Amino acid sequence: MAKGNILLVDDEPAFRQLAQSWLSQSGYQVETAADLAAARAQLKRFDADLILLDLSLPPEFDPLHTLQAMAEFNSRPVIILTGHAERQLALDAIALGAWDFIAKPVDPELLAVVIKRALNKHHLDTELQQLKQQQQTDAGLQRLIGVSTPMIAMRTLIQRIAPTDVRVLVTGPSGTGKEVVSRALHELSRRARQPFVSVHCGAIPAELLESELFGYVKGAFTGADKDRPGLLKLADNGTLFLDEIGEMPLPMQVKLLRVLQEGTYFPVGGREQQKIDVRLISATNA
């Protein structure tokens, strides 16, 4: 089994062949590319764990161009191959996120040590990220207690749809934990660090619901002495949970449709359209 996958990007055919031979004999799976365009094509089919990148690549032979392109590979360790005259540029590359640099002519033993250290660090980072994701998943589901077949199926479904922005309707009798499910969907989503705003549609008088959701501008009605953002605005970039959506008056449902279709709304009394990015989760016992 290969120790790891390495992509070597260098415009010198003799060096590519020699380095590929060294690394293959050391147990690595190695692919090569002569320029950045070929490297991008290789990465579409070859899952590289590490990239060896020459600073001066065709057609530009411009180290600064290569450093700018290096950002494309930032999910993997990048080891820069450089001439002695490019030492400062190599240091700049490390400042931009490269793992290390090696001067040409390359010492095979030094190369082996640097690659081993870089791959070890990469594998540790990957494992740490997986542990963090698992911890987040465990935290999001810890309030969903039970080992019955329906509970297991529900947890599986939550984990599958939570990372998406799909809108969700949670149904069930009162007291069965519809808001718990909704919070789990939020906490396991990319919006987890953003607000989770809960609105009980049946607890707010119909005449106040529009201003509570959309907010209002100064002078919109008696007592509106200043602009006030609504709950939609407070939930921007996060999740809006509409509990008992069936209790929402029909005229409000029509106005909410614009939010769902276009991601826009008007505050009460306002003429300036507001843009919003929220994930909508609704619940009903009907």
Higher pLDDT, 195 or 86: 195
3-class state of residue 262 by DSSP: helix
Angle between helices 206-214 and 250-262 (to 10 degrees): 20
What domains are there in the chain, each with its CATH number? 5-132 (3.40.50.2300), 144-284 (3.40.50.300)
Residue 224: Cβ within 10 Å count: 15
Give the pLDDT confidence of 40-95 residue by residue, as tens digits.
899 889 988 999 988 878 777 777 777 777 777 767 888 988 876 667 777 788 77
Residue 246 has pLDDT above 60, yes or no: yes
Contact 256, 230 (CB under 8 A): no
Which residues does 266 contact at the CB level (< 8 Å), separation at least 6? 214, 272, 273, 274
pLDDT tens per residue, range 133-174: 555 555 567 777 777 888 888 888 888 898 899 999 999 998
